[in-house]
Amino acid sequence: MGRRALPKTDPSVSISGHYVELSDLTPPLDVHEFFGAAGPLEIEIGSGKGLFLLNESARHPERLFLGVEAAIKYARFSAYRLAREERKNVRIVRGDAMRYLSEFVPDRSVEAVHVYFPDPWWKERHRRRRVMQESTIADIARVLVGGGTLQFWSDVAEYFESTCELIGQLPEFSDPQSVATGPAEHEMDYRTHFERRMRLNDHPVYRSRFVVDR
Active-site positions read: 119
**Contact (CB, 8 A) for 136 and 113:** no
> Among 51, 45, 35, which Cα is nearest to 91's?
35
> Among 168, 191, 169, which Cα is nearest to 179's?
191
Burial class, 36, CB count within 10 angstroms (exposed 0-12 / middle 13-18 / buried 19+) = exposed
CA 106, CA 77: separation in Å to the nearest integer? 28
Handedness of CA 17, 191, 71, 162 (dihedral sign): positive
